[in-house]
Amino acid sequence: MNPDDRPAVEIAVAVAVRAGLVLVARRGPGSHLGGFWEFPGGKISEGEDPAAAALRELREETGLSGGSAEPLVLVVHAYPDRSVRLHAFLVREPAGEVVVDGGRDWRWVEPPALGALEMPEANGPILRAVAWRLR
């Protein structure tokens, strides 16, 4: 079945920004697109508000909590094996410290350095939106 024929997987993405730096993590080697860098995020539960899902995923994956999630960009992308709809939100100055789990490599990086990281193809529009918003 063509990925365009299946319902897209709805994903919430939290682009956390603190002191001008953006939080990213490297995906584990055994995961989909293993070794690539990504923003915190995950599947949106049925009936869940995408902004609430982004804040939930940020908290679950990193231990950080944010007060509000500003809409950043909606990305629709088809990979060979699946289609995704990425609801990306900007979370400014989240509270707390990153709790490292499962050996993932978490880093705070300057926005211009994001382009040098190997990220999933679907993140291209998110990177452009971050560069524009944080200029």
**pLDDT tens sequence across 59-109:** 999 999 988 999 999 999 998 888 999 999 999 999 999 987 666 889 999
Residue 48: CATH number of its domain: 3.90.79.10
The total number of structural domains that make up the chain = 1
pLDDT for 32-54, tens place per residue? 778 999 999 999 999 999 999 99
How confident is the model at residue 7, as a pLDDT?
86
Residue 29 to residues 35, 91, 94: CA-CA distances in angstroms? Answer: 5, 27, 28
pTM comes to 0.92
| Domain range for 77 | 3-133
Question: What pLDDT, on a 0 to 100 scale, did the predictor assign at position 3?
Answer: 53
Between 128 and 5, the higher pLDDT residue: 128
